[in-house]
Amino acid sequence: MTDDEQRGFGTRCVHAGQASDPETGSRAPPLYQTTSYTFTDADRAADLYALEAEGDIYSRISNPTVATLERRLADLEGGVGTLCTASGMAALDAATFLLCEAGDNVVSAASIYGGTHTYLSHTAARRGIEARFVDTLDPGAYDEAIDEHTAYVHCETIGNPSLVTPDLGAVADVAHDHGVPLFVDNTFATPALCRPLEHGADLVWESTTKWLHGSGTTIGGALIDGGSFPWGEHPERYPEVGGDNPAFHGLNFAEEFGDRAFTAAALRCVGHASGARNPRSPDGTSLGERPRGRPVSRGPRRGLVGRLPRTGDPRDSRHRPRVLGGWVRRNDRVRAGGGLRGRQAPL
């Protein structure tokens, strides 16, 4: 059992994925505001570029400050790795870019965030990827919609804004019967309330902009890899992860990186396309930063990461569904079945 496994969830929100800095003893994660890195010698550089050694080359691909948040989120969600991105939508785009090509389709729950619906039905569609929306709560509907060109099955843990909550285990079983991964947006629940990887999901994405950061200062996203999907068994469907990748001299990420294949490929193949995260932004997220210059007592509350969630605090994400449910019941502007009148998708 590792140190992190022995620690409680609240402690891991603050400490997972980070030790004090060996050079300075700094307790908080240092901010590595650098684009690039030096190498001890040419052989070390050659090994890094050939992916034969682990280390930093260029901050578009990896950065130690960003890596602290990546390890922390992987720990909290129970995954093997994370790609942090410039926004939540960038995380969705990164996964779609890596797993789909023209002629593929995505089977998604219908009750999802409006921006995701628009991305799948218009943005991805312009690249030849078809979106098939199905009844969120009916596993049979996912089953009927999946075919041999389905790249992934998608849903939200708790739908925004409908609050419709699918049976993740049942949807995962259907996806896996077809040899397809389940990809879950866990923004609304956060790993404090639900860890979709424990219910059969293979990949999770989050908008860290919301409760994971919590201060309303920082747009960000994360793509968390459960390490469970056998990409290597489907080289034709997922050539960039499970096949010989020509962009890396024929390297096969599934063979080279085992259960971390998706993260390894995502960092190198789509980090550039999806908007690599600025080191200053994960630094704030890991620390549970408040906006600068505001008195602590008046600043917005910090988010889940970087602070200890306190039981009994109604603003904690663990209590949010109860609070939200009460508000929805009391508010006569809310129709039964979800959605605010006159607004399609509130933030």
Ligand X SMILES: Cc1ncc(COP(=O)(O)O)c(C=O)c1O
**Which residues are part of the catalytic machinery?**
60, 113, 185, 210
Q: Is 79 exposed, middle or buried (0-12, 13-18, 19+ CB in 10 A)?
A: buried
Q: For ligand X, which residue of 59, 111, 209, 278 counts as binding (CB under 6 A)? A: 209
Determine if 221 is a binding residue for ligand X (CB under 6 A): yes
Q: Is 3 exposed, middle or buried (0-12, 13-18, 19+ CB in 10 A)?
A: exposed
* Residues 247-276 within binding reach of ligand X (CB under 6 A): none
Q: Which residues are registered as beta bridge partners of 86?
A: none
* Residues 188-207 within binding reach of ligand X (CB under 6 A): 188, 207
DSSP state of 260: G
The residue nearest ligand X at its CB is 88
Cβ distance to ligand X smaller for residue 18 or 187: 187
Q: Which among 109-117, 145-153, 279-287, 324-332 is the span making contact with ligand X, rule CB under 6 A?
A: 109-117
List the one residue out of 252, 169, 167, 181 whose CA is nearest residue 223: 181
Residue 168: partners with Cβ closer than 8 Å, 6 or more residues away: 155, 157, 182, 184, 194, 196, 199, 200, 201
Determine if 108 is a binding residue for ligand X (CB under 6 A): no
Number of residues that bind ligand X (CB under 6 A): 16
Report phi then psi at 58, rounded to 5: -155, 135
Q: 3-state class of 95 per DSSP?
A: helix
Q: For ligand X, which residue of 93, 185, 240, 283 counts as binding (CB under 6 A)? A: 185
CB of 87 to ligand X, least distance (A): 3
Q: Which among 1-9, 55-63, 181-189, 309-317 is the span making contact with ligand X, rule CB under 6 A?
A: 181-189
Q: For ligand X, which residue of 212, 219, 264, 304 counts as binding (CB under 6 A)? A: 219
CB of 88 to ligand X, least distance (A): 2
Q: For ligand X, which residue of 46, 53, 273, 347 counts as binding (CB under 6 A)? A: 347
Structure tokens at 33: 């505001």
* Residues 41-100 within binding reach of ligand X (CB under 6 A): 87-89
Determine if 222 is a binding residue for ligand X (CB under 6 A): no
Q: Which among 4-12, 73-81, 183-191, 258-266 is the span making contact with ligand X, rule CB under 6 A?
A: 183-191
Alpha helices, DSSP H only, in 20-167?
42-49, 64-77, 88-99, 114-118, 139-145
Cβ distance to ligand X smaller for residue 195 or 260: 195
Determine if 211 is a binding residue for ligand X (CB under 6 A): no
Q: How many CB atoms lie within 10 A of CB 100?
A: 22
Determine if 113 is a binding residue for ligand X (CB under 6 A): yes
Structure tokens at 202: 């293979």
209 vs 220: CA distance, rounded Å: 5
Report phi then psi at 302, rounded to 5: -80, 165
Note the residues at the interface with ligand X (CB under 6 A): 87-89, 113, 115-116, 156, 160, 185, 187-188, 207, 209, 219, 221, 347
